[in-house]
Amino acid sequence: MDAFAISKLILAGFTKHYRLFQSITKEAPEAFAQQHWDKMQKISSMRIDHYDQRVEETITQLKMTVTCSTLNESLWLNIKRQYLDLLTFHPQAELAETFYNSVFCRLFHRRYFNNAFIFVQTTLKNAPALPVEAEYRSYFPVVEGLIPTIGDIVEHIDFKCQFRDLEQDIRNLVKAFIKQAPDTHHHGHMMRFDMLEAPFYRNKAAYIVGRVVSTSGVQPFIIAVLHHHKGGLYIDALLTSSSQMRVIFGFARAYFLVETHAPSAMMRFLNQLMPSKTPAELYNAIGFHKQGKTEFYREFLDHLDTTQDKFTIAPGTLGMVMMVFTLPNFPYVFKVIKDTFSESKPFGRDTVVQRYQLVKNHDRVGRMADTIEYSNVVIPKGRIEPALLTTLMQTISGSMQIEDDVVTIKHLYIERRMTPLNLYLENANDAQLEHAIIDYGHALKEMLHANIFPGDMLLKNFGVTKHMRIIFYDYDEVQYLTDMNFRRMKKPSLEDLYCGADQQSIAPQDVFPEQLYTFVLTNPKLKTVFKNAHPDLLDVDYWLQAQKDVTNKVVKHIYPYPQQQRFKYLDKTIIKESREHK
């Protein structure tokens, strides 16, 4: 086959991947309408595994048509040029670049991983950008009036089931807009609504995303839609705060299920609503985690090219399974599995890899940090502090290779950097301490509801985000909640005490919730706050009930926004006042 035919073969592999990816995503609206929550979770997990399967299929076809045992440099230089021509007006060109990289990098040695052979840097910066208008639709209240226009927006989205009381929902929305975003309180003829056409599905909710463009500027917003327990849909909340929107699109949540023909256009629209979000974060949020991985690596290379900071050991307690280091001016940590573990960790490397993959495929319910997994990451040796390099050679020598002036890490995970909870509490005032410990309890409960048992619940394994949320990030002991055996602490009898037999037998999967109070919350002040806020977490019955709920497929909705934002929590005058603005 010639270079053009090979480039078309690779692009055909991408085309099949994208078509199947979208066909899987298209199942979400029906699953949401039918309230098949377990199917929603399966759809999300299927999409994560799908990409690698299509890459392997393409590689198999390539090996049948061209010699891949060694690199024919002139041929592959020409293949890339031909492939690039095919992407000139491709609606998913950036994703197709990443697919090409995946195919090439699995075929050949890393010494060829440069811009001559792959798309280390995108070639699309100077290409005609897809207009963001490809993904949104505009509505003009000057034509029909404000209330009817809002009704058109909601009704245009086919949720495949009816709203319980859409008129009341719209009144609630208008009142909430006036309260939250007074700059948008204009007459209808002085504004325009730009709405992403596809709803964003995740867990038990659907989200409508858009912006109000008025003479006062641009106001982004998100509308949360849920199923009412008595039947029908209802609008649960309006979110206009930038920080709340960033949390909904945060790194600790499952990827959205949303249909898109032009991902770059959708990403740019979202970036206009949330300017502080990077392309990597937004591609991840809308389900294209491989593209997010590519964008992140480009950010990493750009940081290395434009800064001088050096890798150093990350703040926090040294881990027994992972070696964790960071770049001070880059908001991420790099985690590498150690060659040997502490005796208290009775498992091996494969188990750690499996548990990190478990979290990747699972619903993270806003409480577990997403990880980006890489192989053969090359770092300039001069950018690693000598003390760290010595430690790496002592702890992860089996996962690294030093050649001349570069260090290659064979396998690592990258996570968003947070302040370890134990360190945060050391300098926290009383109000900060109370908030953090209460949210730590909420984090535990929300993970349990998602069938996740964190294993090691020590405070050092949780982090504090800039939004003051508590997030779990250490997955080497993660297991399914339903696999655990929750027990009460045995109260020793007088005979036991007399014989010195004050210990009870413990099996590998046994958990004693009462020990959370004893061994995790050693500070008396922390104990008091936790006991007042979450006494149920100290009772084995709570854990057993959570386990039973998961077994019975009782899916609890985890709200990614404050309860105070929900319309049901607003003052009853919302109905009366909103009618006055009809």
318 labelled as ligand-binding? yes
The predicted structure's pLDDT at residue 516: 84
Largest CA distance in the chain: 87
320 labelled as ligand-binding? yes
Based on the residue annotation, tell me whether 370 is a catalytic residue of this protein: yes
546 labelled as ligand-binding? no
Q: Which residues of the chain have pLDDT under 70?
A: 183-186, 492-505, 569-582
Enclosing H/E stretch for 44? helix 37-65
CA–CA separation, 344 vs 475, rounded Å?
Answer: 15
CA–CA separation, 437 vs 432, rounded Å?
Answer: 9
366 labelled as ligand-binding? no
The predicted structure's pLDDT at residue 514: 87
CA–CA separation, 259 vs 197, rounded Å?
Answer: 9
Those residues whose C-beta lies under 8 Å from the C-beta of residue 155, and which sit 6 or more positions away, are 166
Give residue-wise pLDDT tens across range 267-297: 999 999 999 999 999 999 999 999 999 999 9
CA–CA separation, 35 vs 513, rounded Å?
Answer: 33
Domain boundaries, the chain: 3-112, 132-298, 306-417, 421-557
Place of tokens 């919730």: 513
CA–CA separation, 442 vs 536, rounded Å?
Answer: 11
**76 neighbors 117 (Cβ within 8 angstroms):** yes
The predicted structure's pLDDT at residue 503: 59
CA–CA separation, 446 vs 557, rounded Å?
Answer: 9
The predicted structure's pLDDT at residue 573: 40
Beta bridge partners of 227: 233
The predicted structure's pLDDT at residue 124: 80
210 labelled as ligand-binding? no
314 labelled as ligand-binding? yes
Give residue-wise pLDDT tens across range 378-395: 999 999 999 999 999 999
* Among 370, 439, 474, 476, the one annotated catalytic: 370
Distance of CA 186 to the CA centre of its chain: 36
What is the CATH number that goes with domain 421-557?
1.10.510
Place of tokens 């990747």: 360
Give residue-wise pLDDT tens across range 201-251: 999 999 999 999 988 889 999 999 999 999 999 999 999 988 889 999 999
